[in-house]
Amino acid sequence: MSTTVRESRLQRRGNNGWAFPDLVVEVAGPLACFTRPELKVERVSYPVMTPSAAVGVLESIFWKPEFRYVITAIEVLKDIQWVSIRRNEVKSVITPAEVAALRRDPRRRYDVEADDRDQRSTVALRDVAYRIRAQIVVKPHANAPEVKYRDQLRRRVERGACFSQPFLGCREFSADFRPPSPELTPIPHSEELGVMLHSIERPAGGGERYRWFRARLENGVMTVPRHPLGDDEVAMPGAPWRADARKR
């Protein structure tokens, strides 16, 4: 079956081609930082949670190699509030070779405070709450139907169970999660958010490939397109230049 015919059938199905309603999880926390890719040294957050951060939250609750999450929308449930933080950060990432050397020689030390620490500013979000809407895409090697994985996620959210502590952009910004609350509604705010990370592809040959989309918050809801922008639609110059969507 050709890609065009498959896409046509999915559109006729309704619900943007998905067979089931969206899975819905609410997350909240006192602090969050979803770093813009063009501002890595002095971190500045997007005003809204990114789809990649939402996937990270869901995978920390429930994940199996037989499926992947696709974010369809993110709703902002609390007013966007900013806070500036200045903190000490490690400048570099320790290599596997250095870890092996430290294990071989107990007298060897990795002193972060001496020469590998720097003060950096972070413009983060405070008192945040989001409603994540997502779908599950089952991979070819899966040995169970999609319904099973959906029910497992729902049960874990209801119990408050997770594989690891979810976080909001930075690992130190922990997140609480819960089933959706009908009394909470998206904020009445609209804003152009610019080019945002849509997803990260990991080819079989190794490495990572970043995919992007034009993000917009409309009455408190950011709808995530099913397909990211093409390579010819995004200009991604090297740092420190920002990522800009090319005009058609």
Q: Give the pLDDT confidence of 203-241 residue by residue, as tens digits.
A: 777 777 888 999 999 999 999 998 898 878 876 554 444
CB atoms within 10 A of CB 104: 8
Which tokens hold the place of 190?
């609209």
Residue-wise over 10-27: b if at least 16 C-beta within 10 A, else e?
A: eeeeeeeebeeebbebbb
Q: What is the pTM of this model?
A: 0.81
> Would you say the C-alpha torsion 204, 235, 123, 48 has a positive or negative sign?
negative
Residue-wise over 178-210: b if at least 16 C-beta within 10 A, else e?
A: eebeeeeebbeeeeebbbbbbbeeeeeeeeeee
Helix (H) / strand (E) element for 29: namely: strand 23-32
pLDDT per residue over 82-114, tens digit each?
A: 999 988 777 777 788 888 888 898 888 777 666
What rounded mean pLDDT belongs to the chain?
Answer: 86
pLDDT per residue over 58-83, tens digit each?
A: 999 999 999 999 999 999 999 999 99
Q: What percentage of the chain reaches a pLDDT higher than 70?
A: 87
Helix (H) / strand (E) element for 56: namely: helix 51-61
**Residue 56's pLDDT band (boundaries 50, 70, 90)?**
very high
Section 128-144 average pLDDT? 95
Q: What percentage of the chain reaches a pLDDT higher than 90?
A: 56
Local structure of 171: helix, strand or coil = coil
Using the 8-state DSSP alphabet, how is residue 242 labeled? P
